[in-house]
């Protein structure tokens, strides 16, 4: 996983839910999910992230049984027919255990190993990788959000260490759009470099998030244009993995960004 720190990598979003904020209901059968996953792969994504429960604010929680019913046939089909690796977007150890048994190689946990007490040991036993994402039960506008994220990550990493998850299997995600004000979301992107001292890849999931719509007056910020701008800002701050709906556009934009930045680094080294 630490190879992801050396170049931009794109995680394609595949929600098999009826109620996700952007694409709920579009891919919640196996045929539609497989078609979409193949499109994401063809557009150049490095991994496909399958989610069976919406994590948007106000979404209705679902049971592990319902989440499994949504993701199990899809993951099984994708493992057979897709050439790129799979991630499972879940905070339930039971779902993570089944998905990794079917062939998923990464667990994307929006509660950073801190919700289900069995999650860390489940991931360790499967020898899977994990995205540890920052989250909170409630927004607190008074927080220094980077200090809050650092404290959360420190707790999660202790849990991971105790369970035996190797640091080489861990990616950190500041949780853009989760329990943060618009200002805190912007600060989390702008100050991302302050999370680099763990030496772990940083992932950002700003795609189509609502806070982007508060940054201007023309209503276009939450669209692809706004998402690309936010992700390029995150790349400049040190992010190397990007969870997105629009894969082709991000693959191209990030390749250009990486090439230009690499050229600048080469020039500086030669002086």
* 203-204, strands of its sheet edge to edge: 170-173, 129-133, 106-109, 86-89, 47-51, 9-15, 241-244, 203-204
Residue 38 annotated as catalytic: no
Q: What are the residues facing 172 on neighbouring strands?
A: 132, 202
Q: Measuring CA to CA, which residue among 211, 199, 203, 140 is closest to residue 11? A: 203
**DSSP labels, the chain:** -GGGGGS-EEEEEEE--S--TTTTTSS-SHHHHHHHHHHHHHTT-SEEEEESS--STTPPP--HHHHHHHHHHHHHHHHHH-SS-EEEE-S-HHHHHHHHHHT--EEEETTTTSSSTTHHHHHHHHT-EEEEE---SS--TTS-HHHHHHHHHHHHHHHHHHHT--GGGEEEE--TTSS--HHHHHHHHHTGGGGGGG---BEE--TT-GGGGGS-SSS-TTSHHHHHHHHHHHHHHT--EEEES-HHHHHHHHHHHHHHHHHHHHHHHH-
Say which of 97, 208, 209, 222 is annotated catalytic.
Answer: 209
Question: Which residue has 């200002």 as its token pair?
Answer: 183
Enumerate the active-site residues. Answer: 209, 243
């Amino acid at each position: 996983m630490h190879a992801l720190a050396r170049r931009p990598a794109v995680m394609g979003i595949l929600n098999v839910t009826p109620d996700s904020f952007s694409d709920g209901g579009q891919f919640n059968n196996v045929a539609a999910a497989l078609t979409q996953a193949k499109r994401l792969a063809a557009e150049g994504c490095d991994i496909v992230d399958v989610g069976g429960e919406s994590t948007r604010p106000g979404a209705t929680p679902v049971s592990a049984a319902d989440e499994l019913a949504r993701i199990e046939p899809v993951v099984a089909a994708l493992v057979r027919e897709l050439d790129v690796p799979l991630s499972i977007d879940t905070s339930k150890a039971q779902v993570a255990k089944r998905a990794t048994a079917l062939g998923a190689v990464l667990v994307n946990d929006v509660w950073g190993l801190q919700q289900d007490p069995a999650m860390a040991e489940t991931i360790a036993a499967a020898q899977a990788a994990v995205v540890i994402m920052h989250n909170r039960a409630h927004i607190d506008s008074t927080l220094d959000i980077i200090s809050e994220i650092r404290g959360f990550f420190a707790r999660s990493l202790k849990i991971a260490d105790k369970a035996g998850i190797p640091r080489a299997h861990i990616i950190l995600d500041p949780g853009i759009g989760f329990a943060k004000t618009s200002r805190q979301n912007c600060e989390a992107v702008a100050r991302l470099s302050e999370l680099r001292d763990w030496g772990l890849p940083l992932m950002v999931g700003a795609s189509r998030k609502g806070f982007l719509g508060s940054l201007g007056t023309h209503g276009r910020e939450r669209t692809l244009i706004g998402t690309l701008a936010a992700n390029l800002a995150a790349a400049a701050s040190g992010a190397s993995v990007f969870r997105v709906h629009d894969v082709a556009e991000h693959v191209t934009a990030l390749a250009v960004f990486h090439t230009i930045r690499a050229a600048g680094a080469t020039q500086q080294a030669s002086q």
